């Protein structure tokens, strides 16, 4: 069965982001946007990454699928994240997380036929997908749930 470790894609600041590099750690995959009411979640995502980076990797995927809330290019997004939230966790290049142009990574995350676990739909910015240390989907968490919510922390094995 395919795992998230089978994916690699361009990084926000260039280079390639290879998910196989994260073997042995849980992965918190989040579609992010700079102009969303949920954008302050960046702070908790960064805090999680700083505190538990030895066990958990946060990966942000900028996407402009909801209300045009991520209009910037990669350089603008990287600058915003750095200046406003000090983001140091890995981020992908800007992608689409739903619709006809959905990136293969999100096809994998949202389709049981791909991930072997469950079908889901990305409902808004900051939806969270959690993968185990072997790259298999554990589940998804609604956008409104904060990264430090007990449901997220429990799935990440941090409670």
Q: How many other C-beta atoms can be found within 10 angstroms of the C-beta atom of residue 99? A: 9
Which are the contacts of 82, defined by CB distance < 8 A and separation ≥ 6?
none
Specify which residues 10 forms β-bridges with. 16
CB–CB of 64/94 below 8 Å? yes
Which are the contacts of 19, defined by CB distance < 8 A and separation ≥ 6?
4, 5, 6, 7, 8, 27, 59, 135
Residue 61 annotated in active site: no
- Rounded to the nearest angstrom, the gap between the alpha carbon of residue 136 and the centroid of all alpha carbons in its chain is 14
Q: Which position among 17, 29, 36, 48 bears the catalytic label?
A: 36
Residue 39 and residue 20: Cα distance in Å, rounded?
Answer: 28
Give, rounded to a whole angstrom, the gap between the first and last alpha carbons of the chain: 29
Please identify every residue annotated as catalytic: 36
């Amino acid at each position: 069965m395919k795992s998230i470790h089978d994916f690699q894609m361009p990084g926000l600041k260039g280079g390639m982001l290879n998910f196989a590099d994260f073997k042995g750690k849980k992965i918190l995959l989040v579609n992010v946007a700079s102009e969303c009411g949920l954008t302050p979640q960046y702070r908790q995502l960064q805090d999680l990454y700083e505190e538990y980076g030895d066990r958990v990797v946060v990966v942000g995927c900028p996407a402009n699928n909801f209300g045009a809330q991520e209009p910037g290019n990669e350089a603008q997004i990287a600058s915003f994240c750095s200046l406003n939230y000090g983001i140091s966790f890995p981020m992908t290049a800007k992608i689409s997380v739903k619709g006809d142009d959905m990136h293969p990574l999100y096809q994998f995350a949202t389709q049981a036929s791909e991930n072997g676990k469950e079908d889901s739909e990305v409902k808004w910015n900051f939806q969270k997908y959690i993968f185990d240390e072997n790259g298999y989907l554990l589940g998804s968490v609604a956008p409104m749930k904060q990264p430090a919510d007990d449901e997220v922390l429990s799935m990440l094995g941090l409670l």
